[in-house]
Amino acid sequence: MWRNTDEAYGIVAIALHWLVTAVVIGLFALGLWMVGLDYYDPWYRQGPFIHKSIGVLLFGVVLLRLVWRLTNARPRLEPGTSLPEARLASTTHFLLYLLLFAVMLAGYLISTADGRPVEVFGLFSVPAVISGFDQQEDIAGEVHLALAITLVSLAGIHALAALKHHFLDRDRTLMRMLGRRRSDTGTPH
Ligand code: HEM
């Protein structure tokens, strides 16, 4: 139930998958919105504060997710999946993890460019380890945006692939990431 089996994703993997999805979409929207704010807007400081705080917390969640993934069984692919398709799915999943970490690292480098720590909702702060590089803030900012756009685009393609499995292949790939058990879906495939 909590852990994955050869057949199904457990509750923890499913909850972490959808939590990360929701947070990434939220942070992407907040990030694009907040950089367009006027200096006198009350959200001019509040927006980045929330964006950075949630970003640091997301790092912990993604780390936990990766550990969970590496210490759990991987549900077998649905019957009928070709080898190239299976390889493409694994590569995409690997790249999604890589991009998640890369986006967060670049974000950290923007915030800590001037040597100040990142405050997380006033609860704790993450010290600035790498700072003072020439144009660090600008370069990290551009990289952060480019990687975030790449991450969201790849996640979009990944979501389209899930929909293709559901509506065209009519297999259980999407349903099992939504926690539906074989018996819930009627006819087994
Ligand atoms: C930022 C958004 C997203 C990220 C970063 C992401 C990442 C991942 C990763 C890394 C996996 C591999 C399993 C794991 O390691 O837990 C996975 C599996 C999966 N994702 Fe996503 N995902 C995102 C959004 C979505 C969306 C929007 C959908 C559906 C509309 C979706 C559907 C699925 C399905 C069905 C699987 C299981 C694939 C299988 O069983 O082989 N994902 N996702």
- Asked whether the beta carbons of 141 and 110 are under 8 A apart, the reply is yes
d(C-alpha 2, C-alpha 138), whole Å: 43
Going residue by residue through the chain, which has 189 residues, state the pLDDT in tens, using 9 for 90 and above.
Answer: 999 999 999 999 999 999 999 999 999 999 999 999 999 999 999 999 999 999 999 999 999 999 999 999 999 998 888 999 999 999 999 999 999 999 999 999 999 999 999 999 999 999 999 999 999 999 999 999 999 999 999 999 999 999 999 999 999 999 999 998 776 544 444
How far is the centre of ligand 1, averaged over its atoms, from the C-alpha of 161 (Å)? 10
Backbone angles phi, psi at 152, to 5 degrees: -65, -35
- Asked whether the beta carbons of 112 and 144 are under 8 A apart, the reply is no
Backbone angles phi, psi at 126, to 5 degrees: -100, 120
162 ligand 1 Cβ < 6 A: yes
Residue of 158, 163, 167, 180 to mutate, ligand 1, most atoms within 8 A of C-beta? 158
How far is the centre of ligand 1, averaged over its atoms, from the C-alpha of 174 (Å)? 9
Residue bearing the CA closest to ligand 1, atom 14: 69
How far is the centre of ligand 1, averaged over its atoms, from the C-alpha of 50 (Å)? 25
pTM of the shown model: 0.94
